[in-house]
Amino acid sequence: MNDSYNAARRTLLAGSALLAGSAFAIGAQAAPQRNSQPQRSTPMNSNTFVTKDGTTLYYKDWGAGPVVTFSHGWPLNADAWDGQLHFLARNGFRVIAHDRRGHGRSSQPSNGNDMDTYADDLAQLIEALDVKNIAMVGHSTGGGEVARYIGRHGTKRVSRAVLIGSVPPVMLKSAANPEGLPLSVFDGIRDGVAGDRSQFYKDLAVPFYGANRPGSKVSQGQLDQFWLWSMQSGQKNAYECVKAFSETDFTEDLKKIDVPTLFMHGEDDQIVPIHDSAKKAVRLVKNAQAIFYPGAPHGLTATLQDRINADLLAFLRG
């Protein structure tokens, strides 16, 4: 009995060793194949980057080709650009979009919720990736980020700029800007963020996409998506960002832009009225172009996605 048991045990152990050895050999052969792939061979990957002050920024880096960076609006994140990112990646571009500090998947630091820091964060990311001849695209607050980046860091790495539904030159009403929006509007936004921000964002989504206009075809999914992205921002970060996008004066930044520039803006923008933004800003940038979209809302990158993509592609290839 013992002889039979020992023989069976030896057979079982030998078989187990053979199986383990085979698995190890298969794994050893598979590992080089997996690791031998060059980093840029994957068309889509996601990464994080740590700034000099220890803030972790999430960013997407899709595709290969000429580089286009994207800066999102408040209080959203890089996902708001997916319709443009995927389109351009399929059309021969490398697209990079980050979540601004305090937004989306980036960390939520207590400090640095101002336009200078936003621009410097972007500059650090661009330098870390060592990308050059980039086209910079910004929507809403992101357009201000692009303008401030150029104002602070120049255009040595920049080939083109596109500002879509953007806040420059300055949103706040003042003696120097009588057409601007009164401070009470932005105080109301801050109250909404500090209070029942979940309902506030649900309500804000409606004029953002023009869903309150007759004949609107905005889906419930788009409205829900806006709420989801907004709730991913830090409350303190979103609150302090209101001052950044409403009170920062980008006039001198715009005057420093010396690359081909395109302004794209909806004529029925209820969030950043066109008369006090793009129609003024385009006159401050030498040889800038503008496309104004009749009846289009602030969130035109979603509601007019195909047309925006076509116009953007034509400018980038021009």
Segment 177-219, tens digit of pLDDT = 999 999 999 999 999 999 999 999 999 999 999 999 999 999 9
Q: Is the dihedral of CA 17, 22, 25, 30 positive or negative?
A: negative
Query: Domains in the chain, start-ordered, CATH in brackets?
Result: 44-317 (3.40.50.1820)
For residue 68, the model assigns a pLDDT of 98
Q: Which residue has the higher pLDDT, 17 or 82?
A: 82
Give me 47's structure tokens.
């990464």
Q: Which residue has the higher pLDDT, 240 or 23?
A: 240
Query: Would you call 258 exposed, middle or buried from its count of C-beta atoms within 10 A (0-12, 13-18, 19+)?
Result: middle
* CA separation for the pair 116, 114 (Å, rounded): 6
Is 228 a residue whose pLDDT tops 90?
Answer: yes
Tell me whether strands 94-98 and 44-50 are parallel, antiparallel or unpaired.
unpaired
Half-sphere exposure of 264 (CA within 13 A, CB side): 25
pLDDT over 90 for what percent of the chain? Answer: 86
Cα–Cα–Cα angle for 42, 43, 47, rounded to 5 degrees: 75
Helix (H, G, I), strand (E, B) or coil at 61: strand
Confidence of residue 46 (pLDDT cuts 50, 70, 90): low
Query: Would you call 177 exposed, middle or buried from its count of C-beta atoms within 10 A (0-12, 13-18, 19+)?
Result: middle
For residue range 237-285, list pLDDT tens digits in order: 999 999 999 999 999 999 999 999 999 999 999 999 999 999 999 999 9
Helix (H) or strand (E) holding 66: none
Point out the residues that are catalytic.
140, 269, 298
